[in-house]
Structure formats: C-alpha cells, structure tokens
Amino acid sequence: MAKIDLDEGYTFVRREALQRYAVLQMDVHGRDVNGFVQDANAAIAKSVKLPSGYWVEWGGAFENQQRAMARLGIIVPLTIGLIFILLYTAFNSVRHATLIIANVPFAIIGGLVGLFITGQYLSVPSAIGFIAVFGVAMLNGIVLVTFLNDQRRQGLSIREAVRQGASLRLRPVLMTASVAILGLVPMLISTGVGAETQRPLAVVVVGGLITSTALTLLLLPLIYEWAESRAERNESRRVEGDRAFAPEHGSHETR
C-alpha cells in the first residue's frame, strides 16, 4: 500500500465559471502519475459518495500528460504514414517501403523492455524517445535495403545479395547505432536536476537501438529474401501464364 504524507495548508474556496471548487495539491514519488490517478479514482469511487452536483477533476502534471499523449497519438501515426509515402516515392515499391517500416516494431520491443528493466513508465519523454529511435531504426533499414537492391542490380542472386549485403553493411549499421547510444549514456546515468525527463527518453532510445540494430542485421535480410523470392516466383508464374495464353489466341486462322 502506498505511503501518504499529509501536510496542512491554507484553505479557501475558489471560483471559476460561476462555480466553486476546492484544490488538493500532491506530489507523486516512486510511481507513474497515470497509475496513481487510476488507483485514486477507484478508491474515491469505492469509499467516497459525492453529493449531487459535485465531481472530481485531475489537473496539473496528469492533465498535461494526457493532453500531450493525445497529441502524440495523432502525430506518431501521421509521421509514420508520411515516412511510408516518402519511402514509396524513393524506392517505387510498396514491398521495400514496408520492409523498412518493419524496423518500427523492432525498436518498440527494445524500448518497452528497457522501460520494464529500469522501472520507468510510459510518459511524454519516453514517447518522444520512441519517435527518435524510429528515425534511426528506419535509417538503418534504408541503408541495408538500398545496398541489397544495388547488389541485385549487379546481377547477384537473392541469396548472394543477402549474404554479401548483411556482412558488408554490418559495420555502417553498428557505427550509426553505437554513436547514438554512446551519445545518450550521460542522460542514461544522470541523477541530477532533469533526470526524471532525461532518463526515460534515453532508456527508450538505447533499448530500441539495441533490438532494432540486432533485428535489422539478423531478421531484416531474411524477410528481404523471403519477400523478393516470393515476388520473383509470382512474376515467373505471370510470365508463364502470358506465354501459355498467347499461342491459344494466336492459333486462330483468319479467312
């Protein structure tokens, strides 16, 4: 059960929009604000019977967090959608754009695991960290997919292109991720003023980069090989179908 310390303060009734209201101020330590508000609402609903015309509203940090999360709920999908459009225009392929966007779940896994291990909570700084790690993860995907496509244009088979691409792009991808991770180490271990906002962001970015980099180098080439092989088989079937269909119509005599 959470420990609650109460202090006496000045008491007066405020008015806003022709209605009276009283303010209770509190600080939350050792847990997330959203979880505290949920537990507090449940306790109030269970133990307190408010008279008719009375209600409880939460403001302060909780209100700001809810407002920011609502905006991020719109901005993040919109950003990913715009990035997908840009990737499609760059590669002229829905398949390749989808492969690169697949790095987003890879980064989400590491960010969530990092928050769980360090005991942090999903907050506005951590949500901003997810946006940052999405960009780096997709950049690594662009580097790898572009190189694999270049290997295919040089005449290599899908299997050989994947093998050479994964080995030759290992160093650039690791360098990109390492620079970002090392740059966030001071924020990750900070304990001074502002650490409550710096650490969640750094934890998400570092955790997301670790998993997205590993899965980009290990899993993305396999997905690329599977997708390209399937597309190649479908193209071969279509060509064979066209060849089988052409003689049938070309065998009719004209009189």
Number of Cβ within 10 Å of residue 90's Cβ equals: 13
Judged by DSSP in three states, 16 sits in strand
Judge residue 148's burial from the number of C-beta atoms within 10 Å of its C-beta, 0-12 exposed, 13-18 middle, 19 or more buried.
buried
Helix and strand counts by DSSP (H, E) for the chain:
8, 2
Q: Which residue has the tokens 């405020």?
A: 14
Could you report the per-residue pLDDT of 233-245, keeping only the tens digit for each?
A: 887 777 777 677 6
* Closest CA relative to residue 28, chosen from 57, 60, 64: 60
- What are the distances in angstroms from CA 183 to CA 167, 176, 200? 25, 11, 15
Query: Model-level pTM?
Result: 0.72
The one-letter amino acid code at 87 reads: L
* Closest CA relative to residue 85, chosen from 75, 95, 94: 94
Could you report the per-residue pLDDT of 170-205, keeping only the tens digit for each?
A: 888 888 888 888 888 888 887 777 677 788 888 888
Cα separation, 204 vs 192, whole angstroms: 19
Q: Give me the domains of the chain, ranges plus CATH numbers.
A: 64-239 (1.20.1640.10)
pLDDT given for residue 255 in this prediction:
45
pLDDT given for residue 156 in this prediction:
84
Cα separation, 1 vs 12, whole angstroms: 30
Cα separation, 41 vs 21, whole angstroms: 18
- Per DSSP, 233 falls in state H
Could you report the per-residue pLDDT of 108-142, keeping only the tens digit for each?
A: 888 888 888 888 777 788 888 888 888 888 888 88
Find the helix or strand (DSSP H, E) in which 188 lies.
Answer: helix 170-188
Q: What is the mean pLDDT of residues 146-173?
A: 85
% of the chain beyond a pLDDT of 90: 0
40's tokens: 């507090």
